[in-house]
Structures are given as C-alpha cells and as structure tokens.
C-alpha cells in the first residue's frame, strides 16, 4: 500500500460533491472524480467508514453504500481487516486509454501541434548521424539550444547568457527539479489559488506546505493576502503564473508585479515565474508582464503550449549559481533531455514570434466560439473576458462543479472541476473550460454541458436527510 488519505483531507478534496440522486451515489461520483484526476493516487487507503461519515456529517450507512458503489464500479477494493484501497484506472474508463467515438476531451488545455513542426522534425531526422555521435547525457542542455533561449530573453529586454539557462524535459520536470533542490520538508510555499495543479503537486512531493493567495479573473491577485503571507510566513519559495494565469486567464499589472517582488525580497523568497503561457497572447490591450532582473527570480518556460505538448522541452532561466545547483541535483531525477527533442527545439525557439501569431489566430477562433455559445446558452453564468491563455474560468453560481463534471462525463464530455485547481479546497462554483479545441467541437460541448447542468440542478429540491444534516 503506497499511501493513505485521512477523512479530513478527503472531505476537503471532495468540496461540493452533492448532486442529483441519492447522497451515496453523489459521494461515490466525487471520489471517482478524484481518482480520475489523480488527486487520489492508485493504491491509496481510504478512511474507515465511521471516520469519513463523521468528517462529512453523514450516516455510516451512506458511506458504506458509497464504498459498495465504488467496489461495484471497480474503483476500490475492500479487504477484511485492511480497509478500502483505490485501484488503478481501468482501460475502459473514458478519457484514459480508450477513446470512444464522439467523446470530447477538454481536460487537457493544450492546442494541437504547430503546423510547421513536422517539417522541422524531418529536417532534424536528416542529421541523425550527427545527433547519435553525441554522448546523450548532458544535465545542463545542448549549448546551441541554450544560446537560442538566452537570445529570446535578451530580445525581451532581459540580457541572458547560456550559463543562466538549463534545459529540462518540459516545464513540469523543471518545477520538480527546483522543488527538490531549493526546498526542504515543511518549507512554506506561497502559491496562487486557483493554480496549475501539477505545479502544486511538485511542491507537495517534497513535503512543502502550501499557503494560498487568491486570484480571480476580475480582481486579480489579493495583494493584502500576499503581503501578509510574505511578512508572517516567510515562504522559502513563491510560485506564480503572471501571464495568462492558468486557469483564470488573468495577467499581472505593474502594481501587482511590484508587490510580489517587494514581498519576496523582504522575506528572502525565491520567486518562481511559470512562463509557459506567456506566449499565448490573443488580443491583450497592454504590454506583457515584466519582472525585473533579481538574484532570486527563477523563470520556467517550455514549448508545450506554444509548439506542441508532445515536444518535451522546457528550461529554467536563473542566476548562473542557481543553474549550477540545479544541474548538480538533476541526476537524482534524470540524466538529461533527449537530443532529438533539443535539436528540434533549437530550430523552433527562434521562430516563437511567428508561432505565437499562428497560435493567436487559433486560440481567438476557439475563445470567441466558446464565449458566444456560453453567453447564449448560460445567461445566468459568469463568463470572463480572456485576452489570451488557453481557457475560461467560468462562474457557475452554485457549488456543483464536481457533480456537473461527472454528469457531463457520462454524456461524453470530459472536463476538470473547479476544485481540481484549489490549493486548500473550494472553487466548487467554478469550471475551467479550455478553448483549445475546434470551434464546432466547443459549440457541441456547450450543448452537452447544458443537458448536464439541467440534470444536476433538476432534483435540488429532493435532497436526502443526509444532505440536509450536512447543510445544518
């Protein structure tokens, strides 16, 4: 058995799980979604029935029925004397390995590959003999690629040398490396909420304690909360996505930038800027977010959102001494980035302006189609204005994001609930809707979502006694 989740932690992760139908089945769907999102890993021991019932304010009979439903659907296994344990996802789970006809998967907020990428790959393949002549083991990265990345930063007004760049196998690998080298167990990390879930996972994996600072599409970052966190908690690291924040789509103003830079400097905090969405500008009316050069500012970038998610090349841009520390700690994780991918990246990094323009046209079409469909179909919802990025952080008005996602899933629409992006619970009144798919697909998705919404809300007046007890 790999891990255990407490009743309190499971209750927080579930958030607003109540939906249509019996309470036990709604609770089972909430746990299923946590398994599907990998918020509960396979082979995790669930709380005892009595403990979970007390944490949720339910009867033990309801929780027992929930576990029975999860056993019947193959999501958990219960052993006498050992409790209940989550199982690996089955091949028949929609959206995992089996792609059924007609399923719309909007869980991954990534556009299709840049159309020019196959030609670049073909060019690199012609130089295969030169590639295989290299050792293939380099924890810092190809010198030519690091020069190209340094040049991109220089063109942005941030003079950079190749020894300030470390190439990684994607941004997620970079975040895990930063966390493992710069953090110790129980260190505090300031992090936005909502946030990019896998970023939070990287810091939790090393035992860090996350302290959330709210950010919303309209109001931006809560600067009062940020100032209090820096002053009272003295976080070792702060993780931010300042350009087209995932999932809210918000970008930082100069005032917000100054507040975080000042707070980090006073607290001695490493400021990690996730720039993976920075190149996804559609029609922003102001200049891009600019952070000054400072010794403890670490920038993480990748080609995943701009070029292709399957091109696993990312990087860290930081002071040379930080890059050396990261390189020294890297062999614990991996021994370098694949040479073929680096050679492809070296050819496309210099074309990022051209690629970003193509991306803007693609994302604009998706955003406009999704916004129009949502405004026409859900006049009661809060539809934010997105100037870039990959998704809309939609306000649905009621704390039913989890049952809504599960109902839509049964209809062939795969989404991520708002709680997926929470640091310490909440966001059950929000839904992330990516606009990276084709317009006609997004329009069809909204139609499915309408049917799911009507279904979830259709029996709100028939709450069970357990539901009422929990509300009280």
Q: Domain-by-domain residue ranges, the chain? A: 3-92, 104-113+357-462, 117-353
Phi, psi of 139 (to 5 degrees): -80, -5
Q: Which of 99-108, 125-134, 215-224, 310-319 bottoms out in mean pLDDT, i.e. has the lowest?
A: 99-108
User: The tokens 């520390």 sit on which residue?
Assistant: 325
In 367-442, DSSP assigns E strands to 391-395, 413-414, 416-417, 430-434
Mean pLDDT of 415-433: 93
Q: Is the pLDDT of residue 14 over 90?
A: no
* CATH T-level topology, domain 117-353: 3.40.640
8 A C-beta contact, residue 201 and residue 234:
no
For the chain, the residue count is 472
> Tell me, what's the pLDDT at 95?
39
366-396 burial: b if 16+ Cβ within 10 Å, else e? bbebbbebbeeebeebbbbebbbbbbbbbbb
What is the spatial distance between Cα 212 and Cα 189, in angstroms, rounded to a whole number?
A: 8
Six-digit token string for 316: 């860290």
Q: Is the pLDDT of residue 80 over 80?
A: no
Q: Is the pLDDT of residue 93 over 70?
A: no
Among 376, 373, 395, CA closest to 384:
395
Q: Assign 3-class secondary structure to 271-317.
A: EEEECCCCCCECCCCCCCCCCCCCCCEEEEEECCCCCCCCCCCEEEE
User: The tokens 């007890």 sit on which residue?
Assistant: 469
Burial (Cβ within 10 Å: 0-12, 13-18, ≥19) of residue 417: buried
Span 428-471, pLDDT tens digits: 999 999 999 999 999 999 999 999 999 998 843 333 333 323 32
User: In which band, very low, low, confident or very high, does the pLDDT at 9 lie, cut at 50, 70 and 90?
Assistant: confident
What is the spatial distance between Cα 461 and Cα 468, in angstroms, rounded to a whole number?
A: 11
> Tell me, what's the pLDDT at 470?
31
Q: Is the peptide bond before 247 cis (omega within 30 degrees of 0)?
A: yes
- What's the whole-number average pLDDT of the chain? 90
* Apex 199 CA angle, 198 and 204, nearest 5: 90
Q: Which of 43-57, 143-157, 235-249 bottoms out in mean pLDDT, i.e. has the lowest?
A: 43-57
Q: Does domain 3-92 have CATH number 3.40.470.10?
A: no
Mean pLDDT of 249-269: 97
Model confidence, pTM: 0.86
Paired with 188 in beta bridges are 209
Span 175-221, pLDDT tens digits: 999 999 999 999 999 999 999 999 999 999 999 999 999 999 999 99
Q: Is the pLDDT of residue 71 over 70?
A: yes
User: In which band, very low, low, confident or very high, does the pLDDT at 101 lie, cut at 50, 70 and 90?
Assistant: low
Six-digit token string for 365: 């079409």
CATH number at 104-113+357-462: 3.90.1150.10
């Amino acid at each position: 058995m790999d891990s255990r989740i407490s009743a309190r932690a499971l209750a927080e992760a579930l958030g607003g799980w109540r939906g249509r139908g019996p309470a036990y089945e709604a609770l089972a769907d909430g746990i299923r979604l946590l398994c599907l999102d990998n918020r509960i890993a396979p082979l995790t021991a669930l709380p005892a029935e009595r403990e979970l019932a007390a944490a949720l304010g339910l009867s033990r009979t309801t929780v027992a029925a929930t576990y029975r439903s999860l056993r019947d659907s193959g999501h958990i296994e219960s052993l006498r004397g050992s409790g209940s344990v989550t199982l690996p996802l089955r091949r028949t789970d929609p959206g995992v390995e089996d792609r059924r006809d007609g399923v719309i998967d909007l869980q991954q907020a990534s556009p299709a590959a840049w159309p020019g990428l196959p030609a670049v790959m073909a060019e690199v393949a012609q130089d295969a003999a030169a590639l295989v002549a290299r050792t293939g083991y380099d924890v810092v990265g190809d010198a030519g690629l690091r020069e190209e990345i340094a040049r991109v930063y220089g063109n942005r007004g941030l003079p950079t040398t190749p020894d300030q760049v470390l190439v990684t196998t994607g941004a997620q690998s970079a975040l895990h490396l930063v966390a493992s080298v710069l953090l110790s167990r129980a260190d505090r990390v300031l992090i936005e909420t909502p946030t990019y879930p896998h970023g939070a996972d990287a810091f939790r994996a090393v035992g860090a304690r996350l302290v959330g600072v709210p950010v919303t599409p309209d109001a931006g970052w809560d600067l009062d909360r940020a100032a209090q966190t820096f002053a009272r908690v003295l976080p070792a690291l702060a993780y931010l996505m300042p350009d087209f924040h995932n999932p809210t789509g918000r970008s930082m103003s100069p005032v917000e930038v100054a507040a975080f830079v000042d707070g980090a400097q006073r607290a001695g905090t490493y400021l990690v800027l996730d720039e993976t969405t920075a190149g996804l500008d559609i029609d922003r009316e102001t200049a891009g977010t600019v952070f000054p050069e400072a010794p403890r500012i670490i920038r993480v970038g990748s080609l995943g959102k701009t070029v292709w998610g399957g091109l696993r090349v990312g990087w860290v841009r930081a002071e040379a001494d930080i890059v050396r520390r990261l390189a020294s700690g890297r062999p614990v994780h991996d021994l370098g980035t694949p040479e073929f991918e680096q050679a492809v990246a070296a050819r496309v990094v210099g074309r990022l302006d051209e690629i970003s323009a193509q991306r803007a046209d693609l994302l604009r079409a998706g955003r406009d189609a999704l916004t129009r469909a949502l405004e026409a179909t859900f006049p009661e919802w809060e539809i934010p204005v997105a100037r870039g990025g990959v998704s809309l952080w939609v306000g649905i008005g009621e704390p039913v994001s989890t049952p809504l996602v599960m109902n839509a899933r049964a209809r062939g629409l795969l989404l991520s609930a708002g709680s997926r992006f929470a640091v310490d619970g909440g966001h059950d009144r929000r839904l992330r809707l990516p606009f990276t798919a084709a317009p006609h697909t997004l329009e069809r998705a909204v139609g499915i979502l309408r049917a799911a919404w009507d279904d979830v809300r259709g029996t709100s007046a028939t709450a069970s006694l357990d539901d009422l007890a929990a509300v009280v």
